[in-house]
Amino acid sequence: MSDPIDVAAETPGDGLPPLREVIATHGLDARRSLGQNFLFDLNLTGRIARAGGEIDQGTVIEIGPGPGGLTRALLGAGARRVIAIERDSRCRGVLAEIAAVWPGRLETIEGDALDIDVAALGEAPRRVIANLPYNVATPLLIGWLRHASAFERFVLMFQKEVVDRLAARPGTKDYGRLSVITQWLCEVRPLFDVNPRAFTPPPKVVSTVVRIDPRPQPLAPARMETLERVTAAAFGQRRKMLRASLKALGDAEGLCAAAGLDPTARAETIPVEGFAALARAVDAAGSV
């Protein structure tokens, strides 16, 4: 026997039909190629919206509204202005219906979020709140981090495995390039896990909602481009000592000495500040 559907838990009180009905009416069968795993649970969409903080100010940017479950939660929770970027043109009608219920508060951009300068959308403070399409989630985040100071907060759903890497501490197996670059620019707080059964269709893996708050200043001075090169070299050969893995960058022992790092250490034990020092050493050596 299938689970009884809790209609109350699927009707947000905005006068619009429940999400399952919306999907049937608009023929929005989920497409794997677009990373479509829809959320119907209002408790979950409400929790994600509230984690955004003061969304009654500035702009909320949602990537991939799909049939609009999270969009409706954001508007219902008082978002002043939501700009939603959706690639799937089948969602145009349903998003227009939501916009009509909240006049002047929802704008939809039809397109690929990877091609859009999200850091320039709407008025600050900008908060990106999204149940991300997993096939492009990490490249999207890395792109936004290049303009981290344009954003107040990110509340994002990723595969749990990605959040584990974003939040990993030195000395753990998940610690790597993504941990260093993200934590250099932002404070990362995993919020809660979401069971695959909460989605339609269920993905193969557990998901996690994470809050990522850009720091007023990066954790230590460095150029992001150089930090990316340094972490690529160091973690590209994570089992090797720095004196071997950093050879591609020049005099590896000299760079470690300038950065105050032990050349026999391995990348996974070096804290974020250590990589920033290494990036400064690379830039200083290059400018001599």
State the residue for tokens 């992001």.
Answer: 224
Helix (H, G, I), strand (E, B) or coil at 166: helix
Check binding of 176 to ligand SAM (CB under 6 A): no
Rounded least distance, CB 62 to ligand SAM, Å: 7
Half-sphere exposure of 185 (CA within 13 A, CB side): 27
Given the complex with ligand SAM, which of 94 and 278 has the nearer CB atom?
94
Residue 66 to residue 25: CA distance in whole angstroms: 14
Given the complex with ligand SAM, which of 106 and 246 has the nearer CB atom?
106
What are the C-alpha distances in Å from 108 to residues 50, 172, 183?
21, 41, 31
Q: 9-38 mask for ligand SAM (x: CB under 6 A)?
A: -------------------------xxxxx
To the question of whether residue 29 is assigned a binding role by annotation, the answer is: no
Q: Site for ligand SAM (CB under 6 A): which residue of 82, 136, 180, 261?
A: 136
Q: Hey, what amino acid is at 164? A: D
Rounded least distance, CB 34 to ligand SAM, Å: 4
Half-sphere exposure of 198 (CA within 13 A, CB side): 18
Q: Could you tell me the two tokens for 216?
A: 């007023």
Check binding of 64 to ligand SAM (CB under 6 A): yes
Check binding of 63 to ligand SAM (CB under 6 A): yes
Rounded least distance, CB 60 to ligand SAM, Å: 12
- Sequence-ordered list of residues with C-beta below 8 angstroms from that of 5, at least 6 positions apart, any chain: 20
Annotated binding-site residue numbers: 37, 39, 64, 86, 112, 131
Would you tell me which residues interact with ligand SAM (CB under 6 A)? 34-39, 63-66, 69-70, 85-88, 112-114, 131, 133, 136
